[in-house]
């Protein structure tokens, strides 16, 4: 019996080992995604022998090699014979740079000096391959044809510069530390590379725009590559170039100018009326690509754009420009990336970069970059948040960021229904504070006065709020809302929502709202309303004994308020706190994997003098913890979810909407 168990355990371990070995099938994934400890394994050491064999004596490696594949003895002999040659050594498709990273990760775990030597030979190869003007060819030693051009294609030069910079800055990214002489060489090499990038930025009618995938190594002009890769402005390669420039600390005025002009070009050339549809065969491979006209589609950029008109074009192997993807043959149509969304990352990071580097967005540029700064000291575009909201366009196609610098903004702010796609972003959660003191009695507009008491009101769909404190300072004077959200697809993250009764109101027809990493405090019913709302990793703090939630979920709505991985805390005087009561009888509130303090009453829930709610409301918990989690003492009409039931409470199900995964945007 004991032997049988050992055999089963051995088979399981073998199975695990095979599974682990095959987890990443692509060479690049093995390098970047494997755990650090894996590089000390026998499997890693075996692969390292292959990598050493593939490296030529000149220091570079060939491209598109799956180096983890086992070699025959003949293949090993052939590779040894090739080492003295410079056959196909390149930086294209990540070659050389990625093998250097592999050797660094190996050396960090196994102090085999062959790994360090291999890395340093690769570094010397990169330094030797650089042109005097700062650029790099695709192949070195030089190979006849377009391979001699300065190559931004597939991020080749950006990859090299990232390696060179890490060495020059003496970071800990690589485990192998070159000599001071090499470090100084890398610093100069990086400066030359950036200078080359600035000199190759294409001017269109005297205005800086973007870059081509290849530039002539002598004239620096845009250049052709393969027959279907004509000289053009590149939506893909330009994105990584700009991100590299934006990553430079204390950028020069020339770098700032280059970035701003490139961003303006990205805004000008984005495509928002097309969506790529990929048709797959039974094997899961792309059978066909089609561009479908779609209103308000997520932005795309063409890989190739005309140097003078910015119009996208497409080529077959005959090198003849075509205006649409469906005009070229299936082989090139499906075997090449003609569109990209890479510049989205640039546009996402640009607003913060602009503020950090003192490039205030002037009035003439707002329409281009969709960015407005609010600062009380006058250094922004406006001193009041509401004035910035008034300045945002109605129903814009792209996000409009209102960046709020630190300060206490004593104002009542409304983002109207027509101001969709607004990003309200504070400089810091602790020091960017929106505050007002309206309450039910002060408003005095009758029985519905509560809904006018907000400090911040969000009515526009597809808005996000982050890094802010939103506070109603009226104190215990009845209902007083800090944040009111009556819109769909609204995300609130890293915010503090402070108030007493009715701190947070959530509503809107079929509205879905997402709260992540927030601190929310109050007294009575301080999270209330009829929206579907997911709270993740939030702290829910009760100031006194009362009720946390008061949902008014509409009948037939699958989810109401869902709290996942939240922490329920309280002031010392708050000793008897209910999880919730039904504002309307179909209320739904669920707590999953939450930590509940001792302030939570054993019965958990209350019916608000509505006996019918005990049959129609849905209150539930799953796998919670803490002194306040007493499932056996809960009211008998509440529920403890099963493992099968809780599987339905995924973020995808709760916040499902026609806009795919909007909550990650």
At residue 664 the predicted structure's pLDDT band, cuts being 50, 70 and 90, is low
| C-alpha to C-alpha distances, 521 to 127, 432, 495, nearest whole angstrom | 58, 18, 11
Distance of CA 391 to the CA centre of its chain: 27
Place of tokens 């909550």: 663
Mean pLDDT, residues 514-537 taken together: 97
What whole-number distance in Å separates Cα of residue 324 and Cα of residue 292?
A: 12
Give the pLDDT of residue 590. Answer: 98
Q: Are 326 and 289 in contact (CB under 8 A)?
A: no
What whole-number distance in Å separates Cα of residue 176 and Cα of residue 355?
A: 36
Give the pLDDT of residue 251. Answer: 92
Check 169, 288, 502, 565 and give the catalytic one.
502
DSSP assignment letter at 197: H
At residue 205 the predicted structure's pLDDT band, cuts being 50, 70 and 90, is confident
pLDDT digits (tens, 9 = 90+) for 241-297: 999 999 999 899 899 999 999 999 999 999 988 888 877 776 667 678 888 888 778
Query: Averaging pLDDT over each range in 238-242, 313-317, 379-383, which range is the top one?
Result: 238-242
Give the pLDDT of residue 12. Answer: 40
**Angle at which helices 113-129 and 42-54 pack, to 10 degrees?**
40
What whole-number distance in Å separates Cα of residue 418 and Cα of residue 394?
A: 5
What whole-number distance in Å separates Cα of residue 92 and Cα of residue 99?
A: 12
At residue 206 the predicted structure's pLDDT band, cuts being 50, 70 and 90, is confident
DSSP assignment letter at 81: H
At residue 407 the predicted structure's pLDDT band, cuts being 50, 70 and 90, is very high
Q: Which domains does the chain have, with CATH numbers?
A: 26-200 (1.50.10.20), 404-658 (2.160.20.10)
Give the pLDDT of residue 365. Answer: 41
pLDDT surpassing 70 at residue 593? yes
3-state SS class at 533: strand
Lowest mean pLDDT among 21-25, 404-408, 657-661: 21-25
What whole-number distance in Å separates Cα of residue 490 and Cα of residue 420?
A: 10
CA nearest neighbour of 456 among 444, 471, 443: 471
Give the pLDDT of residue 272. Answer: 87
- Residue 270 tokens read as 């984005």
Give the pLDDT of residue 291. Answer: 85
Beta bridge partner(s), residue 425: 403, 466
pLDDT digits (tens, 9 = 90+) for 86-136: 889 999 999 999 999 999 999 999 999 999 999 999 999 999 999 999 999
Check 525, 565, 576, 657 and give the catalytic one.
525
**Angle at which helices 42-54 and 97-109 pack, to 10 degrees?**
140
Mean pLDDT, residues 213-222 taken together: 96
pLDDT surpassing 90 at residue 173? yes
At residue 354 the predicted structure's pLDDT band, cuts being 50, 70 and 90, is confident
Lowest mean pLDDT among 236-245, 368-377, 416-425, 465-474: 368-377
Strands 339-340 and 301-302: antiparallel
Give the pLDDT of residue 359. Answer: 59
At residue 357 the predicted structure's pLDDT band, cuts being 50, 70 and 90, is confident
CB neighbours of residue 365 within 10 Å: 17
* Model pTM score: 0.56
Give Dmax over CA atoms of the chain in angstroms: 90
HSE, side-chain direction, 13 A CA sphere, residue 524: 10
pLDDT digits (tens, 9 = 90+) for 550-575: 999 999 999 999 999 999 999 999 99
- Residue 66 tokens read as 């799956």
CB neighbours of residue 652 within 10 Å: 9
Q: Does residue 577 come out as left (phi exceeding 0), alpha (psi in the -120 to 50 range) or beta?
A: beta
Give the pLDDT of residue 16. Answer: 36
At residue 33 the predicted structure's pLDDT band, cuts being 50, 70 and 90, is confident
- Kindly report whether the peptide bond that precedes residue 276 is cis, defined as omega within 30 degrees of 0: no
Mean pLDDT, residues 368-375 taken together: 78
Q: Are 320 and 234 in contact (CB under 8 A)?
A: no
Mean pLDDT, residues 201-229 taken together: 93
What whole-number distance in Å separates Cα of residue 529 and Cα of residue 554?
A: 10
More confident residue, 326 or 103: 103
DSSP assignment letter at 529: E
More confident residue, 585 or 293: 585
Beta bridge partner(s), residue 605: 580
Mean pLDDT, residues 533-545 taken together: 97
> What is the total residue count of the chain?
665
Beta-strand ranges (E) seen in 227-343 are 274-280, 286-293, 301-302, 314-315, 321-322, 339-340
Q: Is 86 a catalytic residue?
A: no
Helical H runs in 110-154? Answer: 113-129
More confident residue, 69 or 336: 69
> CB neighbours of 633 closer than 8 A, spacing ≥ 6?
602, 603, 604
At residue 596 the predicted structure's pLDDT band, cuts being 50, 70 and 90, is very high
Give the pLDDT of residue 286. Answer: 66
3-state SS class at 588: strand
- Backbone φ, ψ for residue 448 (5° rounding): -100, 20
pLDDT digits (tens, 9 = 90+) for 175-194: 999 999 999 999 999 999 99
Share of the chain above pLDDT 90, in %: 77
What whole-number distance in Å separates Cα of residue 2 and Cα of residue 634?
A: 46
More confident residue, 174 or 288: 174
Q: Is 525 a catalytic residue?
A: yes
Lowest mean pLDDT among 118-122, 375-379, 412-416, 600-604: 375-379
Vertex 503 angle, CA 497 and 509, to 5°: 100
- Backbone φ, ψ for residue 298 (5° rounding): -60, 140
């Amino acid at each position: 019996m004991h032997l049988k168990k050992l055999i089963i355990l051995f088979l399981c371990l073998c199975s695990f080992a095979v599974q682990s070995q095959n987890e990443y099938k692509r060479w690049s994934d093995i390098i970047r995604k494997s755990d650090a400890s894996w590089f000390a394994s026998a499997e890693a050491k075996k692969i390292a022998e292959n990598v050493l064999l593939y490296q030529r004596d000149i220091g570079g490696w060939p491209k598109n090699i799956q180096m983890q594949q086992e070699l025959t003895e003949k293949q090993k002999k052939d590779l040894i014979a090739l080492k003295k040659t410079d056959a196909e050594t390149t930086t294209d498709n990540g070659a050389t740079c990625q093998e250097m990273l592999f050797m660094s990760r190996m050396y960090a775990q196994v102090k085999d000096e062959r790994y360090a030597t291999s890395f340093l030979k690769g570094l010397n190869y990169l330094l030797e391959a650089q042109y005097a003007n700062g650029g790099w060819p695709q192949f070195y030693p030089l190979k006849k044809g377009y391979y001699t051009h300065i190559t931004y294609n597939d991020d080749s030069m950006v990859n090299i510069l990232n390696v060179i910079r890490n060495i020059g800055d003496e970071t800990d990214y690589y485990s192998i530390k070159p000599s001071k002489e090499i470090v100084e060489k890398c610093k100069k090499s990086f400066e030359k590379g950036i200078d080359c990038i600035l000199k190759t930025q294409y001017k269109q009618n005297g205005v800086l725009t973007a870059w081509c995938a290849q530039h002539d190594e002598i004239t620096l002009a845009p250049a052709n590559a393969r027959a279907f890769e004509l000289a053009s402005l590149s939506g893909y390669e330009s994105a990584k170039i700009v991100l590299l420039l934006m990553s430079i600390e204390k950028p020069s005025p020339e770098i700032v100018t280059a970035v701003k002009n490139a961003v303006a070009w990205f805004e000008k050339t984005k495509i928002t009326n097309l969506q790529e549809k990929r048709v797959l065969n039974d094997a899961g491979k792309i059978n066909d690509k089609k561009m479908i006209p779609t209103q308000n589609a997520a932005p795309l950029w063409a890989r190739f754009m005309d140097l003078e008109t910015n119009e996208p074009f497409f080529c077959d192997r005959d090198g003849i420009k075509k205006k649409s993807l469906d005009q070229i043959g299936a082989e090139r149509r499906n075997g090449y990336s003609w569109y990209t969304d890479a510049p989205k990352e640039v546009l996402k990071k640009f607003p913060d970069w602009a503020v950090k580097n003192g490039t205030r967005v002037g009035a003439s540029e707002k329409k281009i970059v969709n960015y407005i700064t609010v600062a009380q000291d006058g250094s922004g575009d406006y001193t009041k948040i509401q004035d910035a909201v008034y300045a945002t366009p109605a129903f814009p196609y792209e996000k409009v960021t209102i960046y709020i610098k630190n300060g206490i903004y004593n104002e009542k702010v409304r983002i109207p229904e027509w101001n969709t796609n607004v990003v309200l972003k504070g400089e810091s959660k602790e020091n960017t504070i929106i505050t007002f003191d309206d309450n039910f009695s002060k408003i005095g507009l009758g029985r519905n006065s509560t809904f006018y008491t907000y400090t911040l009101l969000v009515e526009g769909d597809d808005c996000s709020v982050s890094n802010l404190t939103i506070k109603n300072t009226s104190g215990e004077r009845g209902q007083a809302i800090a944040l009111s959200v009556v819109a769909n697809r609204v995300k609130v993250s890293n915010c503090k929502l402070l108030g007493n009764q009715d701190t947070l109101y959530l509503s809107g027809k079929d509205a879905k709202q997402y709260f992540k990493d927030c601190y929310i405090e109050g007294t009575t019913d301080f999270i209330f309303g009829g929206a579907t709302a997911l709270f993740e990793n939030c702290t829910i703090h009760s100031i006194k004994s009362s009720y946390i939630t008061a949902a008014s979920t509409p009948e037939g709505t699958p989810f109401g308020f869902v709290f996942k991985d939240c922490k329920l805390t309280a002031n010392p005087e708050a000793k008897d706190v209910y999880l919730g009561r039904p504002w309307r009888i179909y209320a739904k509130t669920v707590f999953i994997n939450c930590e509940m303090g001792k302030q939570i009453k054993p019965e958990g829930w209350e019916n608000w003098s509505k006996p019918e709610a005990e049959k129609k409301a849905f209150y539930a918990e799953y796998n919670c913890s803490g002194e306040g989690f007493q499932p056996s003492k809960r009211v008998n009409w509440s529920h403890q979810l099963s493992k099968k039931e809780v599987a339905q409470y995924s973020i995808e199900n709760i916040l499902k909407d026609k806009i795919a995964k909007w909550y990650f945007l």
